Amino acid sequence: MRDLSATAAAGLALFDDPAVARRLIEEWPKLYGHERAPVLNALLSRPDFAAQVLEAIADGRMKRDELGLLQVRQIHAFRQAALSARLRQVWGEVQELDDTARNRALARWKGKLTPAALAQADLPQGQATFQTACAPCHRLYGTGGTLGPDLTGTGRDNLEYLLENLLFPSAIVAAEQRQTTLTLKDGRVLTGIVRGRAARTVTLESVGETTVLEAAEIQAEETSAQSLMPEGLLDALDETRARSLIRFLMKK
C-alpha cells in the first residue's frame, strides 16, 4: 500500500465498497506525505467514505487538521444532513464569508505587511502585544492560556494563514472551540467553552478561570458557531503594533 499514486487512489475509489475506505484509513498512518493528498481525495469522493473519515477523526485514527477548508466544503457538497451534522460535531463550523469583503481586507493588510515592512518591525514590542492581546487565551511555546488553540505548531510563518485567522476568527470554528453560554437559575450568565461533563457537573473554561457548575443549576445552554476570539483584533491596534505582532507570530 506504500507509494500510492493519485491514479491508484482514484482507481480504488471507483469501487463503492466500504471496505476500500476502511483499508485506506488503516494504512493512513503509514503513508508518506506526498501520498496523503490523493488518498484523502479518494476518501472524500463518496459520502460513505467521508463518513468513515469523520469517525476516524472522532476516535483519533486521523487528525482533525488533516481536513482543510476545501475538504470540509467537499463534504458539505454531498448535501447530506446527517453527514454535515457529524462534520460539525467532530470538526467544527464553517461560516461562509462575503468574498469581496474578505479579499478587500486581506489585500489591505497584505499591503501593510510587506516583507520590507515586517523586517522593520519591533520583535520585543510584538512579544509584549502578544502577551496582552493573545496570551490570555493562546499558548505559544508552553506559555499562555488554554482557552484557544495552541499556536506553537501552526502555520504561523505563512502570512495569509495568520491573516485568515486574525481577521476572520469565526470563519472556521473547531468543534472543541465552540462558544457556549450558560444561563444559571440564580440569574448569572456565563460564557466560555465546555471542557467536561459528568453526571452532575459541567466544567466551563473562560478567560483566566475554570468553573465547575452543578448541572441542576443550569437553566439554559446555548452553543454558538461563533469563535470566542473577537473580530477586529488587528484593526484595534495601531499599525506599528499590528506589524510587530505579526512579525513576532511569524518567528519560528
- 77-97 pLDDT, tens per residue? 788 999 999 998 898 776 666
pLDDT classification of 69: cutoffs 50, 70, 90 = low
SS3 track for the chain: CCCCCHHHHHHHHCCCCHHHHHHHHHHHHHCCHHHHHHHHHHHCCCHHHHHHHHHHHHCCCCCHHHCCHHHHHHHHCCCCHHHHHHHHHHCEEECCCCHHHHHHHHHHHHHHCCHHHHHCCCHHHHHHHHHHHCCCCCEECCEECCCCCCCCCCCCCCHHHHHHHHHCCCCEEEHHHCEEEEEECCCCEEEEEEEEECCCEEEEEECCEEEEEEHHHEEEEEEECCCCCCCCCCCCCCHHHHHHHHHHHHCC
Whole-number pLDDT of residue 70: 61
Q: Mean pLDDT throughout 179-202?
A: 89
Using one digit for the tens of pLDDT, what is the confidence trace for 99-143?
788 889 899 999 999 999 999 999 999 999 999 888 888 999 888
Cβ-based burial of 203 (10 A; exposed 0-12, middle 13-18, buried ≥19): middle
pLDDT classification of 3: cutoffs 50, 70, 90 = low
Categorise residue 14: left if φ over 0, alpha if ψ from -120 to 50, beta otherwise.
alpha
Whole-number pLDDT of residue 245: 96
DSSP 8-state assignment for residue 246: H
Using one digit for the tens of pLDDT, what is the confidence trace for 192-226?
889 999 999 999 988 777 889 999 999 999 887 77
- What does the chain come to in residues? 252
Whole-model pTM above 0.85? Answer: no
Whole-number pLDDT of residue 112: 94
Give the angle 39-60-44 at the CA atoms, nearest 5°: 30
Using one digit for the tens of pLDDT, what is the confidence trace for 149-164?
888 877 788 898 889 8
Task: Of 46, 82, 57, 53, give the one whose Cα is nearest residue 175.
Answer: 57
Whole-number pLDDT of residue 218: 95
Task: Of 229, 234, 191, 227, give the one whose Cα is nearest residue 209.
Answer: 191
Q: What is the mean pLDDT of the chain?
A: 85
Percent of the chain with pLDDT over 90: 36
CA distance 53 to 57: 6
Is the pLDDT at 235 greater than 50? The verdict is yes
CA distance 88 to 92: 4
